[in-house]
Chains A and B, each alone.
Chain A
Amino acid sequence: MKIVVTVKVVPDLTAPKSIDPATKRLVRTGMESQLNPYDEYALEAALQLKERLGGDTTVTLLSMIPETSKETLRKALAMGADEAVVLSDNALVGADVSVTARSLAAALKKIGYDLVICGGLSDDGSTGGVPGAIAEHLGVPALTNARHLEIESNAVKAQRETDTGYQVVSCPLPALVSVTMAVGEPRYASLKGIMGAKKKTLAVLSAADAGIDAKPKTELLRFAPPPARVKARVVEAADGPSGARAIFDFLRERKLV
């Protein structure tokens, strides 16, 4: 079975950031790129399936990123993915959800898949829109927010998180699944994994190779810093009652009680 995991390379959310007013894009120079943290969970889910299913199950990474970021994928190869395909093209710079999903779907058709596993959200795009849109383009079922996955007789069975609990959902393969972080903490790469990753293939596909011709459906008009917050009032509470009183008075001042 061929499992393909979509992974994005994103700026570290915790690092200080700036945006270039001319291009309206994030200034990426001098900033650590990393695997989109959520996608490490998608990969973890894939590797768990590979272990359980054994046989000829393989895990391929698919990432639409600038070619200069591709070495970041070595970490995912070191964790245990078998190979990586990078979809990279100047035509894809500044892609929105629509273009990203179309492009990844085209690449998936090109490389083949039985099961596609996505993260739930990218740190920078953060629409959560890409997985469902890929499935729709591929015409396969979209089983979103899975926290536990099983493959049985050519079907996926999953626990799917909902607002108040979970649903048990099943669908036939081929299918696309997006996972939640409850699938399990991503594993660390072993030393053997790190050494092995150097020899694994990292193929590059251009937009033309994948037959992509996609135009964005959104346009960034402008951006602004968020409204500044007034600095917090800080109260050292000597004991419970005085701490409680400080909060109560503050809430009353703001007419919240």
Chain B
Amino acid sequence: MQHVIEVVEHRGGQTRKVTFELATQARQLADKLGGTAHAVVLGNGAAQLAENLKTYPLDIVHVAEDPDVDLFLIDPTIDYVESVARATGPSVILLPNTMYGRDVASRLVARLDAGMAADVTAFEIESGRVACVAPKLGGVTITTCAFKDTEYGVVTARPNAFPAQSGGKGARVEQIAKPQSKPYVMRVENEVEEASGELGLEEAPVVVSGGRGLGGPEPFATLLKPLADALGGAVGASRAAADAGWVPYSLQIGQTGKTVSPNLYIAVGISGAIQHKVGMRSAGTIVAINKDASAPIAEFSDLVVVGDAFSIIPELTKLIEAEKG
């Protein structure tokens, strides 16, 4: 594996911070491997986004602004990435560990007969091989896995785990020729927004999350949102809150929701079940507000405030707003 190819997740040219984290990582890995660093940007808005990516230290940004990419689910993307990967040669393919990233990665595993490493938080190069560090089994162990017997390694990397540094000589932008393919059959007929504005939950520097302890949907809007706004962060939730219909599933954090690593995670009325824990335990600082001092969340928090969320949060929001002036 010589080269590194990042596949960019975006919507209409709007992308996430992880795109720049992975561009930076692509350069660093490529240098260690003696190869080149690439990005692939597809679909609506790709051309503009490719221009923005030029300020990152990549060698080539491969672009196809093809409407099929958005009209059909994933299939055109896989064809495009395959064509870039085959033309580039043996490489590590980087994706964000998000719904999109896992989808694309899983298909590439079979298409390229590749190895896969998921939710990766660090890389090591060992005797010329790429090894990936990732927590497993709900975080009880941190594994280091190397790729072997394959030309391609597919990685989904955790957002917020790597630094993003712009700079570079300005990547060359190249158009990708439309791959030959069977007709695409998986059509996206309609797109419904339930939680606009929360796209950045995975990379928000602060996440204020609510659980069953909040008792209903209103406190998410009246308590958590103002606190999150004051801290410049986003609102998240436990599965219990999403299951109850208080918030959309897209806010759910945990094993079957999103994995977040913000600088600060505030868990409000969340007990800290293992499935929740795996989605947030790598946060820099964890603060729990819980009525029950013996809730499991206390075992992996930095500060536990035992008390009633309804009386604490409004006061806390005031203090923070006052500090900001």
Residue of A145, A166, A245 contacting most chain B CB atoms (<10 Å): A166
- Report Cα–Cα, A106/B146, bound state, in Å: 26
A224 CB–B CB distance under 8 Å? yes
B114 contacts A217, C-beta separation under 8 Å: yes
Of the candidate stretches A54-62, A136-144, A200-208, the one touching chain B is A136-144
- Report Cα–Cα, A132/B78, bound state, in Å: 11
- Report Cα–Cα, A163/B190, bound state, in Å: 15
Given the contacts A131-B106, A165-B191, A241-B315, A225 and B138 also touching, CB distance less than 8 Å: no
B305 contacts A162, C-beta separation under 8 Å: no
B141 contacts A237, C-beta separation under 8 Å: no
What's the minimum C-beta distance from A138 to chain B, rounded to whole angstroms? 9
> Which interface class (under 10, 10 to 19, 20 to 34, 35 or more) fits B?
35 or more
Q: Which residue of B lies closest to A165 (CB)?
A: B194
B195 interface neighbour in A164, A226, A234, Cβ under 8 Å: A164
- Which residues of A are found within 8 Å of B301, using beta-carbon distances? 232
- Which residues of A are found within 8 Å of B305, using beta-carbon distances? 235, 237, 243, 246-247
- Using an 8 Å CB-CB cutoff, how does the interface string of B292-325 with A read, 1 for contact, 0 for none? 0100001111111111101111111011100100
B306 interface neighbour in A11, A215, A235, Cβ under 8 Å: A235
- Report Cα–Cα, A251/B193, bound state, in Å: 34
> Which interface class (under 10, 10 to 19, 20 to 34, 35 or more) fits A?
35 or more
- Which residues of A are found within 8 Å of B135, using beta-carbon distances? 226
Of the candidate stretches B24-32, B39-47, B147-155, B172-180, the one touching chain A is B147-155
Name the interface residues of A73-115: CB closer than 8 Å to any CB of B: 96-98, 101-102, 105
A233 CB–B CB distance under 8 Å? yes
Number of A-B residue pairs at CB separation under 8 A: 296
- Using an 8 Å CB-CB cutoff, how does the interface string of A26-44 with B read, 1 for contact, 0 for none? 1000000000001000000
Residue of B75, B119, B186 contacting most chain A CB atoms (<10 Å): B186
A-side interface residues toward B, CB under 8 Å? 11, 13-14, 17, 19, 26, 38, 96-98, 101-102, 105, 120-121, 123-124, 126-137, 141-145, 147, 160-172, 180-182, 215-226, 229-230, 232-241, 243-248, 250-252, 254, 256-257
B-side interface residues toward A, CB under 8 Å? 73-75, 78, 98-100, 102-103, 105-107, 109-111, 113-119, 126, 131, 135-150, 153-154, 156, 185-196, 198-199, 206, 231, 239, 248-250, 255-256, 263-264, 266, 274-275, 281, 285, 287-289, 293, 298-308, 310-316, 318-320, 323
Task: List 4 extra interface pairs beyond A127-B102, A230-B302, A244-B313, CB under 8 A.
Answer: A135-B110, A220-B145, A243-B316, A247-B266
